[in-house]
Homo-oligomer: A and B are copies of this chain.
Amino acid sequence: MKKAQPTDLKPGKGKRSRATGRITLSDVAKAASVSPITASRALRSAESVSPELAQRVNAAANTLGYVPDPAARALASARSTSIVVLVPMLTNALFVEVLEAIHEVVTSTGYQTLIAVTHYDSQQEETLIKSYLAHRPAGFIVSGFDRTEVARRLISSSGLPCVHIMEVASAPGLHSVGFSQTEGGATMTRHLIAQGRKRIVFAAAQLDPRTMQRAEGYRRAMKSAGLYDPKLEVLNPQRSSIALGAELLEQSLRYNPDVDAIFFNNDDLAQGGVLHAQRLGIKVPEQIAIGGFNDLTGSDQMNPPISTIRTPLRQMGTQAAQMLLQLLEGQPVQKPNIDLSFELIVRKSS
């Protein structure tokens, strides 16, 4: 098959003071009888290396069990293989799904994800970007467009590719994969209106930019149906949860005794709402119709199952990661801003 390896490859030869025993690129190069530079090129992607040499190098690397050192690579090239993903929160099932999808494609291509949790705090986000920049990441995936001017500049002046998720835009030079939160909000509202509901409460938590975009969609739909009433907006800055959904239902009833539908801005809230309605003996949808958002786990299992807007969470993660990877490989991105849209799922709660 192949000639015996030169025996002087074994580590420990010579008396280097800090021998690590690691198999290095030079070991591979020697085994393949080429220079380290050629080996480096062959291993990275045969970028102008003769096929024959490339093959010899790869074979040598395999038999030696060579694994490149990310630190050395990062230092020499001023670029690591880690991708920073900025998400607002891990406790929201929403982001876990997106992250999981990103993580899968990123790791399967030899990159790593560095997760940075902003806690919906712009200042914290700024600090995180700054500190992660020191790691010379390969690129960024960030949630939404809402950030400080400084944060924006930190990213752009780094020259690193950056893909936005959760929302879409179409400015030149921008990369994004998402859907229209506003349209999503409007769609659910219109659905409830179409069911003959008139006193439709918009119940929301967190009040982050995307929530407020859905609120905007709600407002438009209500206004154009002549049903808008500011009293119908039940907004709570606490973080979204099933328990808070119950509370929001109570508040909705208190402020609007005539409420006949509630559009919860996230499915965990809607689930809490349905469960609490049951406790209060309120019939869903007969007395109050309920709509949710994101089609999170469990919504289809509630009694009644919850109508919702199914958002392309996993897809968004996958495509954003793929787009970033293309950018990293210098490949052309045919569609830099992808609107994945969403789907209205009508179940028994409305």
Contact = CB atoms under 8 A, between A and B. Distances in A.
A103 to B, nearest CB: 7
A212 interface: no
A233 B197 CA distance: 47
A123 interface: no
A127 to B, nearest CB: 11
Interface stretch (A110-118, A170-178, A223-231): A110-118
A103 B90 contact: yes
Given A114-B112, A301-B242, A90 B99 contact: yes
A209 interface: no
A103 B117 contact: yes
User: For chain A, which range describes its interface: under 10, 10 to 19, 20 to 34, or 35 or more residues?
Assistant: 35 or more
Q: How many copies does the complex hold?
A: 2
Nearest to A100: B90
Contacts of A241: 297
A287 interface: no
Contacts of A278: 303
Interface in A314-341: none
Interface in A147-183: none
B298 A298 contact: yes
Nearest to A135: B70
A75 B74 CA distance: 9
Nearest to A114: B112
Contacts of A49: none
Contacts of A115: 103, 113, 115
Given A71-B71, A103-B115, A103-B117, A271 B298 contact: yes
Interface string A255-285: 0000000000000100110011011000000
Contacts of A272: 301
A287 B72 CA distance: 65
A50 interface: no
A99 B99 CA distance: 13
A78 interface: yes
A243 B301 contact: yes
A126 interface: no
A134 interface: yes
A130 B66 CA distance: 12
A238 to B, nearest CB: 14
22 contacts: A70-B74, A70-B134, A70-B135, A71-B74, A71-B75, A71-B80, A71-B135, A75-B75, A90-B100, A90-B103, A93-B93, A96-B96, A103-B115, A112-B135, A114-B114, A241-B297, A242-B298, A242-B301, A243-B300, A243-B301, A246-B301, A271-B301
Given A70-B74, A242-B297, A275-B301, 5 more contacts: A67-B134, A71-B80, A90-B96, A103-B117, A242-B301
